[in-house]
Structures are given as C-alpha cells and as structure tokens.
Amino acid sequence: MNSHQPPQIQKSFGLNMFIGLGALIMLGAIMTYLKVILLPMVLAFFITCILNPLAMIFQRWGLPRLLAIVSTLLLGLATIWLAANFMFSSLIAFRDGLPAYQDSLDNLYNQLTAIRDSRFSFLTLDLIKTHLASFSFGRFFGDLFNNFFSLTGYLLLTAIFILYFLPAIPAFPEKLKRAFPGERGQEFSKAVQGLSLQIQRYILAKSLLSSGLGLLVGVTCWLFGVDFATTWGMFAFFLNFIPTLGAVAASLMPAILASLQFGWATGLWLLVILFVIMALSGNFVEPLVLGRSVNLSPTIAFLSILAWGWLWGGIGMIIAVPATAIVKFACDRLPTLKPVGNLMGSLETIKQ
C-alpha cells in the first residue's frame, strides 16, 4: 500500500515521525530534569480543579471570593486532619492490642522456624548474620529522612502553587478569550473548562471506586473475623490512591493479623482473596471506569500509569490518568495531532 504513495509523502511522513519521536524524548528528559518544579505545579493544578467548585459554592452562598477560598482551604485541612487522626487512632489501637497476640506470634514463629528447618535448611543462622552485617541502619534512616524531607518540600511547594492558582482559576477562561480574540479564544476557554470538569469527574470516580474497594475489604475481613475490620477498610480506601504498593500493603496488613489470630492458613486464604480483589479492581475495573471518566481508552489509561510512573515515580502514577487527559486535550485541538487524540480516546468517544 505504501509503495503506491508518492515518494514525497513517504519522506514527509517519516520525517514527521522522526521529529515527533525526538520531541517526545526531549520532553521526557525536560520533565524528569524539572521534576522538582513541574510535579508540585501539576499536583497544585489538579487539587485546584477539585477545590474550585467548593469555593464557587461558598460564593453562591454570599461569601466574597477571598473568604470563600479561605473557607475551602480550612475545610480541606480539616478533612485531612480528621482522616489522619482516624488512621493514627487506629494504629494506636492496633499497637495496644498487640500483646494479646503474643502467644499466636510465638506459635507462628515456631511454625515458620520448623518450615525453614525442613525445607529451607540453607538459611542458617550464620548466613542470616552475614546478610544483616551488610545492612546499615545509618544509611537506612538517612535515606528515610531524605525521602521525608523531599516529600515535605514537594507538599510545601504544592501548597504555595495552590494559593496562587485558586484565586486565579475563575478568571483564566476570560483571559484566554482576551489573549486569543475570535473563535480560537472561545475554543481554548471551553477546553480549559472541559478539562477541569473531566479532572473533577476522574477524582470523583476514583474516590467512589476506592470507597467501594474499602467497603469490600472491610466486609471480607469482618467475614473472616479479623479484628479492626473497619480500620483495614479505611486503610484500603486511602492506600488505593497509591498504585501497586498501596494494594500490597492493604492486603498484607490484615492477612498478617489473621495469621496471628487464626493461624497462617487462614491468613494465607485472606491474602489470596484480597489480592484477587485488588487485582480485579486495579487491572480491570479502574482502567475501564477511570478511562471513561476522562475519555481515555483502558489500554492508554494503563500505559499512562507505567509511563508517568517511570517519569515521576509513585506520585506520577497517581496523577497519570488526568495528566494523560491533558495530553489528549492538546491532541484533539491540534489538527496535525487529532488522529493521535482519536487513538487515545475511548470507544464511546470514537463512536460519537
């Protein structure tokens, strides 16, 4: 088929592909190099899209814009404080209940020791000591503190960007109309408003899915008779916002407690069931539902998680789908890239 095309078209297509690939590689390098600035900025933009409707509700109730913003931020901080307080109280209750599992912990240790002696005899005490000797607590805690302060810096910079974005976002569509008179300004303004709406839909869908997952995990733990079933459900809700690692942690913690209560066999069964629930939710349900909420195909939604995770780590995986929606918006509104936007879209969007 390509052999019947004129050489000029083939050469132009190959050149465009080469330029596009080079631009993509350069963009990835820039995003990685400027991660310290770009990541908090993107996070602040997403959070602003979530908080802005609440600020507008306060304005409809008669509050001035500044007071509405302050009320929104205070409500957001209060929500974070309540969630953190609940999780902290749950951890304290779990810590206080640990002495009751001491006998079960000793029995589990004896069972694991017997399994090691019968099937993994090569794991001798000398071998374990040799590996432990190479472990440096100083390096471990140094890395831990570095990561903590790095995360604190990201959050602080994100908060600063939010303080700038939240007052400015209502006037931004009008500024686009003035900056680009005519149809183009109208189109840019509608694109920004539509993008903000899709990000809000995505966050709402993610929160609802996480709530359903937390409820399912809590009920499963309750059916198994595991202590603190409500706590494990709440943990599953919050940890579901952290891809992969969150699902692993949300499955392991109740399974370990089930092993202490009822033996390792019950804990293993619970672990398998929770892993199946997490796998079905993370690999099938979420890419399908979340992809539709931002008009992305499930395949593109899944690949975006891998790509953004490679660029920006765990936080990149969290913002992967809405960030890819921004890319699709840009492709849909550039005539040369509109076919790429169609390929990224969901089947329902293509049919329309």
Over residues 79-119, the pLDDT tens digits come to 888 877 877 777 777 677 667 666 666 676 676 667 666 66
At 349 the pLDDT is 46
Residue 101, CA distances (Å) to 251, 272, 316 in order? 19, 22, 39
At 220 the pLDDT is 93
| CA atoms within a 13 Å half-sphere pointing along the CA-CB vector of 115 | 7
At 215 the pLDDT is 92
222: nearest Cα among 253, 250, 247, 258: 258
The CA distance from 53 to 48, in Å, is 9
Amino acid found at 61: W
Range 214-219, long-range pairs (CB < 8 A, 24+ positions): 214/240, 216/277, 217/250, 217/254, 217/274, 217/277
At 223 the pLDDT is 93
At 352 the pLDDT is 45
At 348 the pLDDT is 47
The CA distance from 66 to 214, in Å, is 36
Residues 94-121 as b/e (b if ≥16 CB within 10 A, e otherwise) read eeeeeeebeeeeeebeeeeeeeeeeeee
Q: Write the DSSP string, 260-303.
A: HHH-HHHHHHHHHHHHHHHHHIIIIIHHHHHHHHTT--HHHHHH
Tens of pLDDT along the chain (352 residues)?
A: 454 555 555 555 556 666 666 776 787 777 777 777 888 888 888 888 888 888 888 888 888 888 988 898 898 888 888 877 877 777 777 677 667 666 666 676 676 667 666 665 555 555 555 554 555 545 554 555 555 556 677 778 888 888 888 888 877 777 777 777 777 667 777 777 777 777 777 788 888 888 999 999 999 999 999 888 888 888 888 888 776 667 778 888 888 888 878 877 888 899 999 989 988 887 778 777 766 666 777 777 778 878 887 888 777 777 777 788 777 777 776 676 677 777 777 654 444 4
At 248 the pLDDT is 79
171: nearest Cα among 185, 183, 187, 189: 189
pTM: predicted TM-score of the whole model, two decimal places: 0.66
The CA distance from 233 to 199, in Å, is 25
